[in-house]
Amino acid sequence: NKEVMEEIIFHQGDIRDEKFLKKVFLKSLNNGYQIDGVIHFAGLKSVEESIKKPLIYWENNVLGTLNLLKILNLKKCKAFIFSSSATVYGTKNKSPISEDSNTKPINPYGETNLTIEKILESFYKSEETSISISNLRYFNPIGAHNSFRIGENPRGIPNNLFPYLCKVASGQINELKIFGNDWSTRDGTCIRDYIHVMDLADGHIKALDHLMTNDSQLINLNIGTGQGYSVLDLIKTFENINNVKVPFIFSDRRKGDVCKLVANNQRAKKILNWYPKRSIEDMCRDG
């Protein structure tokens, strides 16, 4: 949308700061723009850190979301999208996992996500609002924008596989540790549903369009490709497509890991008319 592209207004602040959030909404109104839709990405997302520093996770993720919801001009904001995670399902479900599967997170990060989903549900049901809400439950987003100007480059040692792999491939870290080769999978390594970040981005746009143009609703949607790849599959694909070596060793299983986590993504396909288009090769090349 040309009009939007000409004027993207950026405010930097902290979601825990109610005053700041209020200012953003007020300034927008004063400039003649009603905020119709909100996409909430302002969460902390490291499992390991959430175990070490749970209070920061509860404060930032849950309190921050409450701040945001309190300030949304209740009747007027039409759509709210929350970046949730497949981590809300816990470890007991059998893949492919549908949105109706049991939710039972096993770490504070996952607990905060599920708590937020519950808060959103009661907010949605309240009489104060006629908002539409979608919880997008991400599987394993990887890759980068294909301009290569926006991508994942965490400070310090990454926790997640893909940024770690990228740092090994570029020589910043010597070798990748694969957490276990004794899982009951084809090659003994864990299987995940990797999704290109740009397909994930498309999912948000489709979800926003859907919420803005339909009756008030609350929907949970899995955002994954529905295809599983093992850690070794990912390494081999990365090596082939980028013509680099990724040295690895096998080490012990990581606590809290699941053997296989793959989405049933039928609901997102049907409701949003959204189809992930990028292959595992695209993810590895762009990353």
The residue ranges that bind ligand UD1 (CB under 6 A) are 45, 47, 85, 87, 110, 140, 159-161, 164, 176-179, 190, 192, 231, 254, 256-257, 261
Encoded tokens for 223? 């955002």
Of the pair 216, 251, the CB lying nearest ligand UD1 is at 251
Determine which one of 57, 89, 109, 229 is catalytic: 109
Q: Is the peptide bond before 247 cis (omega within 30 degrees of 0)?
A: no
Instruction: Name the minimum Å distance from CB 207 to ligand UD1.
Output: 18
Check if 33 is active-site: no
Instruction: Name the minimum Å distance from CB 28 to ligand UD1.
Output: 31
Contacts 24+ apart (CB under 8 A), 127-131: 128/74, 128/75, 129/72, 129/74, 129/75, 130/75, 130/78, 130/216, 131/72, 131/74, 131/77, 131/78, 131/79, 131/80, 131/216
Of the pair 18, 152, the CB lying nearest ligand UD1 is at 152
Of the pair 253, 285, the CB lying nearest ligand UD1 is at 253
Asked if 185 and 258 count as a contact pair (C-beta separation under 8 A), the reply is no
Instruction: Name the minimum Å distance from CB 258 to ligand UD1.
Output: 7
Distances, alpha carbon 267 to alpha carbons 195, 240, 276, 277, in Å: 16, 33, 13, 16
Of the pair 131, 142, the CB lying nearest ligand UD1 is at 142
Instruction: Name the minimum Å distance from CB 114 to ligand UD1.
Output: 12
Q: Name the residues annotated as catalytic.
A: 109
